[in-house]
A and B are shown apart, each in its own frame.
Chain A
């Protein structure tokens, strides 16, 4: 990347574009960052296409055969690939459909026409191609994205956290939401969001995915102590992380 400004591109797959929007949310840094890089492709914001990218940011997950083709093509043409947001990192909320037999999903939405519309399970980008870095969260954490972006431009390795949201929550001196009688996935969810949900009186839905050494059964036991059935605990753990919690799912790779 030396000499010239790094060529940066953004691509969106299956998602809600919330990460996209979050990206625009540090107006002050944004214009400075723009000075340091050359944005060569960004469909939502500009016309135009390029052949090579030093850094490709991928948003959204893989959910159709066309997505698979496209992501291979981008991988071939990029230096570093970064997955932005939980849809790209783990399949995210889209992967909830994987919980149900695909025939049931099609039927619930299309009724009689269910056979007309084939679909594949929602998968993370890393299920298809090699991903170099991830920015987790639904929506992705904006400060973390900025950190990864800046590190890459400066040629440094970004720092990625691997401890629980609970740690950040305690540092904020919040009242524990589990103690308040609410549900919470803070104990098993990967930090990096400053425990923003418990800090706003809401429970952690686990949107950043589990820490890497998650003990699934231990987590279920913990939630059972707080009055949730195994079924309910697992269902809620899977909201953003079906693929990670349910390793049994077979990806049509």
Chain B
């Protein structure tokens, strides 16, 4: 058996954004096992400077098209905190439904279109159109349904329109909500079942790898927290959002144009598995059933299971969305205008769980309601150190399997984290010398 290994996967496929996997092993010594991030930087923090509070969420939603709803919500909450804008209960519920729709959409897209082809041992979802047409169609319909949630509540699922600081410029009608509800019940639930069965049939392909790490997510004792809550570390408990810099500790590494993060250990994990581990008890019953069916128990230390946790969350989001729609239909939609009269100008910090993990926006406004300073900390950046640490443990464990198998498992590992590299690179641009 050779103890030298050199892997260089240029531009990993089936992930959002650009990253390379590099492994260098000489005589059984692992010199390097890392994910290099080569996405061009976009300088959002600089772009925000001097922008009016009406424009800020419109700009930050463009950090990432896949999590645009999450960025929008976090941005609105940070602006509202900075300007002292209160929002109504109705606004909060509608936003929670939007976040659910976005989690639902992104998780489906990742779990079923990008990660699942690995379990079927094909290079993309396209061959599955022929071999597993019913499942692909169900998955497409589910994605459509998730999209409908965004369309109905915010005018557009990618870069939402009607959610603004202080509320909504247009509210969904009760009829729209009823139609949406029917569609979720008659079409969404059976399709989800089909997709879950398909995933269950290949779940044994998920590599059995474990590395216990620190799990960080938003947490609330009232619900499985996505829209709002405190920062929760599986190691040391709860922190208010204002302490986010002490938790994230971003630092520069030379192999990534995105900064890395660490808290109590060398690295921590964020995303579906972190949320699942920290908030399992608050999942809806059907979601717990699906977790059991797919062999996911809390706590789980296998990063490959992140994909399974995503599917469990889809079920949770569907169930919770139905309950929230029912509540809105019971109380009736109140016609109200967004509250856009600032009561103060200053700093506002907000956190939300976007599909890939905990997200922070931090703004400081001047007295004209324009941004003076902005900072956004994005989930994928927080996962990068953890991915590197996983690779360092994984490679020696599977060294006997040969280069192809190792490469495949490393790519699957990176994909399991569902890295959204385009948004993680908001900071640095580093040249690589090969």
Contacts and interface: CB of A to CB of B under 8 A. Distances in A.
Interface string B27-71: 000000000000011110111011110110011001111101000
B113 interface: yes
Given A27-B144, A45-B14, A47-B123, A34 B161 contact: no
A200 B161 contact: yes
B403 to A, nearest CB: 16
A126 interface: no
Given A15-B422, A44-B13, A104 B46 contact: yes
Interface in B66-101: 66, 68
Contacts of A21: 65-66, 109, 158
B126 interface: yes
Contacts of B180: none
B42 A63 contact: yes
Contacts of B143: 24-25, 27
Given A48-B123, A200-B162, A202-B161, A18 B62 contact: yes
Query: Interface residue tally of chain B, by bracket?
Result: 35 or more
Contacts of A160: none
B169 A139 contact: no
Given A24-B143, A43-B13, A18 B66 contact: yes
A31 B45 contact: no
Contacts, number: 165
A42 B16 CA distance: 11
A180 to B, nearest CB: 10
A90 interface: no
A235 B159 contact: no
A105 interface: yes
A47 B13 contact: yes
A16 B64 contact: yes
Interface string B9-28: 00101111100000000000
A200 B13 contact: no
B126 A196 contact: no
A204 to B, nearest CB: 10
Interface in B300-333: none
B17 to A, nearest CB: 7
B298 interface: no
Contact of A43 (B11, B113, B136): B11
B155 interface: yes
Contacts of B45: 108-109
Interface in A8-43: 13-22, 24-25, 27, 30-31, 34, 39, 42-43
Given A17-B64, A46-B14, A108 B427 contact: no
A239 interface: yes
Interface stretch (A94-102, A127-135, A143-151, A217-225): A94-102
B255 interface: no
B114 interface: yes
A94 to B, nearest CB: 6
B339 to A, nearest CB: 15
Nearest to B71: A16
Interface residues of A, number: 57
Interface string A102-120: 0011001110010001110
Nearest to A231: B50
B78 to A, nearest CB: 18
B65 A139 contact: yes
A67 interface: yes
A201 interface: yes
Contacts of A16: 62-65, 68, 422-423
A104 B50 CA distance: 13
A215 to B, nearest CB: 23
Contacts of B155: 196-197, 199-200, 202
Given A17-B64, A17-B422, A93-B59, A109 B123 contact: no
A140 to B, nearest CB: 9
B58 A45 contact: no
Contacts of B129: 31, 34
Given A105-B46, A196-B161, 11 more contacts: A18-B65, A25-B143, A25-B147, A45-B114, A67-B40, A97-B47, A117-B41, A118-B429, A119-B429, A205-B55, A232-B52
Interface of B: 11, 13-17, 40-43, 45-47, 49-52, 54-55, 58-59, 62-66, 68, 109, 113-114, 123-126, 129, 136-137, 140-141, 143-144, 147, 154-159, 161-162, 164, 168-170, 252, 422-423, 426-430
Interface of A: 13-22, 24-25, 27, 30-31, 34, 39, 42-48, 63-64, 66-67, 92-94, 96-97, 100, 104-105, 108-110, 113, 117-119, 138-139, 183, 196-197, 199-202, 205, 232, 235-236, 239
Query: A-B pairs with the 10 shortest C-beta distances?
Result: A18-B65, A46-B124, A201-B169, A200-B155, A47-B123, A201-B170, A27-B140, A108-B46, A16-B65, A96-B47
